[in-house]
Amino acid sequence: MPSAADSLFKALADPTRRAIFERLTRNGEQTVHALTACAGVSQPMVSKHLGALRRARLVRHRHQGRETHYQVRPEALAPLVDWVSHYADFWQNKFDRLEEVLERLEDTHQRSDK
């Protein structure tokens, strides 16, 4: 059973899907037709990519007449934010340990001076 992060990263690993997602982020809600017009791929392909984004819960959709409208769910990006903060936490922890090492070094140095 893939985690939410797995399906998110997998969905965003594809450059066409990232471009579609970015376009929705920049321009707000769009119809499938509007997205197809600038995607450089066929409408069935755009629909397939939108399906992957939907399964990763990165977009939501609604039907109006014969058109389907898509918009982003930015809160679904949380695992990505976590990824950057993972490194921030890593270094925070390392800086704390460096501080401890420096404290100990001073002690050693003072003892060897005697």
Partner 1 sequence: MTQLDTPARSLIMERDFPHPPEKVWRALTESSLIEQWLLENDFQPIVGRSFSLRREPMANWNGVIDCRVLAVEPCRSVSYTWNASGSEWVVTWVLTPTAAGTHLRMEQSGFHPDQEQNYKGAKYGWQKFIGSLERVVAGL
Measured from the CB atom, is 4 or 80 closer to partner 1?
A: 80
DSSP symbols for 31-88: EHHHHHHHHSS-HHHHHHHHHHHHHTTSEEEEEETTEEEEEE-GGGGHHHHHHHHHHH
The single residue listed with the structure tokens 């014969």 is 66
Measured from the CB atom, is 64 or 112 closer to partner 1?
A: 112
Contact footprint for partner 1 (CB under 8 A)? 8-10, 12-16, 18-20, 22-23, 25, 38-40, 74-75, 77, 80-81, 83-84, 87-88, 91-92, 94-95, 97-102, 105-106, 109
Measured from the CB atom, is 13 or 64 closer to partner 1?
A: 13
